[in-house]
Chains A and B, each alone.
Chain A
């Protein structure tokens, strides 16, 4: 028996019905898997897809689950990154295969049995831990977001949530607390920073204050209940809750304790931002609070009547305290409902019921976190920093609702 894995091309019903009358029964092209495990492309008849499923024995149980062939939820990718389809998500967990990616020299192929983590520098006892060693230590799991600090696109109306800010995702991360390993190697009192180094072809490095290691850093080896995906650092990565994505070094092979930062390329030439008076801000670790309405959004079209506005909100500095929604272009704001759980440094789902009567308007959301920080407008950000700032741009996102129900991103420009 063949199992449909994915429908790659779905012919419109009208045309296929007509062609069915003429004897040509192909309604779609699908990727199917045979009972022996072979995967191939095949034309699928309309009857096979649309007939009564109660009249036919279904697909037997298999080794690995699949998405419905009717669901096509994919990342949008370039050579160096791929963005999560935020508009497709429900709840707060990002499916692991849809977690955003950003890497600097591709995804390395690492044999976990050969991968080791070296911790040295200002320590009493330089040590090497195999993956098996790391898994023997007391473990910790937490749900937290991970966001690239370059997570902003704008400039045109036909942008989806995925294109605007799809470089954020959320998982349950499991591993060993870095503080546990700090005690194991005995870090010296003057060790104020550490260098984290990846085992990819960029041998990517970042300097991290040692305090973050004592606070909440995790040496993670699992994500959403399974070993890390290669794109997320298999077999082991640094996870720094609330901190800019790049500091969460993947394919982690080495930590060196130091009394000063190293000023590596990724913390000087990149991941720094111009602010006012010709200054450049560096070591901008915290991700500022942000929210985005993911429904309704471009390219959806809404109908008059009740609409549940839905979205995600998060802060790298702690918990989300409130999300406000405006349905009249920012003139008035109302408190949105927050769906449990509301976790520290985590995506939170918000929703707000709105009765749309067909008027042209704009809908917006803004989040406030437990430090009292409220998500700014793009104009406020540029006023505070100047318009040349390339990272940590977290503006309020507005969607225009047109009279015919079309939804468009409100592109702003102050440059």
Chain B
């Protein structure tokens, strides 16, 4: 008898699950709408050209975003010695914030990652200095000063000569030594350790 009851109840349970207590198709008040995924809402406001200009400071490797102005290494050295040397070391070597210039006569075996041996695009030098440096006075340099510093750091890494003028036309054309080393991520999960 106990066995019979058990089967009876489990059978009833099955039926109960097959018939949901609420028939959502007949009771539309229980249905959620699908508006989330398809609609636009009209919140926010259209950005003006001036509002975009004020914030849009990025620079791409193809030169998009580079401003007017130009710089040379000798002028950059003056700015570097004044505003950068405390953290990045004389000549861009050995500072507390890491070397920017490859040391050709390293005292230890550890190879420091520098603009000359690790940075794949020259435009990144300009973009980064302009948005984040100097560390204690971020966002304080003029575009002209950033061009001078970029020229200085590229020259100190022996990527350009001392006479090369760096501007929106010349900077994107520079091929960095490390460029060929970079490959996109190919890890995809699965059994292989990459």
Residues on A close to B: CB < 8 A?
104-105, 118-120, 125-130, 133-134, 136-138, 180, 183-184, 195, 197, 201-205, 253-254, 256, 258, 260, 262-265, 268-269, 272, 275, 278-286, 288, 317-318, 369, 371-374, 376, 380-381, 383-385
Contacts and interface: CB of A to CB of B under 8 A. Distances in A.
A205 B183 contact: no
Contacts of B115: 269
Interface in B36-58: 36, 38-41, 43-47, 51-52, 55-58
Interface-central residue, B55, B62, B118, by most chain A CB under 10 Å:
B55
B124 to A, nearest CB: 6
Given A128-B47, A376-B193, A283 B184 contact: yes
Interface stretch (B12-20, B21-29, B131-139, B148-156): B131-139
9 contacts: A129-B43, A134-B43, A183-B39, A260-B62, A262-B59, A264-B128, A281-B184, A283-B185, A317-B189
Interface in B179-194: 181-191, 193-194
Chain B interface, DSSP helix/strand/loop, else mixed: loop
B189 A205 contact: no
Interface residues of B, number: 50
A262 B119 CA distance: 13
B95 interface: no
Nearest to B194: A384
Contacts of B194: 275, 384-385
B185 A262 contact: no
B113 interface: yes
Contacts of A138: 35-36
Interface of B: 35-36, 38-41, 43-47, 51-52, 55-62, 113, 115, 118-121, 123-124, 127-128, 131-132, 135, 138-139, 178, 181-191, 193-194
Given A203-B139, A272-B182, A263 B187 contact: no
B120 A268 contact: yes
A203 B57 contact: yes
A384 B138 CA distance: 39
Nearest to A276: B194
A53 B41 CA distance: 56
A187 to B, nearest CB: 12
B133 to A, nearest CB: 9
B60 to A, nearest CB: 5
A317 to B, nearest CB: 5
Contacts of B123: 263
Contacts of A278: 181
Q: List 6 A-B pairs, minimum CB-CB distance, nearest first.
A: A371-B189, A265-B128, A203-B131, A129-B44, A126-B47, A201-B138
Contacts of B189: 286, 317-318, 369, 371-373
Contact of B138 (A105, A268, A317): A105
Contacts of B51: 118, 128
B124 A264 contact: yes
Given A126-B47, A137-B41, A205-B58, A280 B127 contact: no
Contacts of A128: 44-47, 51
B185 A285 contact: yes
A180 B193 contact: no
B44 A184 contact: yes
Given A128-B44, A133-B44, A380-B193, 8 more contacts: A127-B46, A180-B36, A183-B40, A253-B55, A280-B118, A280-B182, A372-B190, A376-B193
B164 to A, nearest CB: 21
A263 B185 contact: no
Nearest to B47: A126
Interface-central residue, B56, B62, B188, by most chain A CB under 10 Å:
B56
Contacts of A126: 46-47, 52
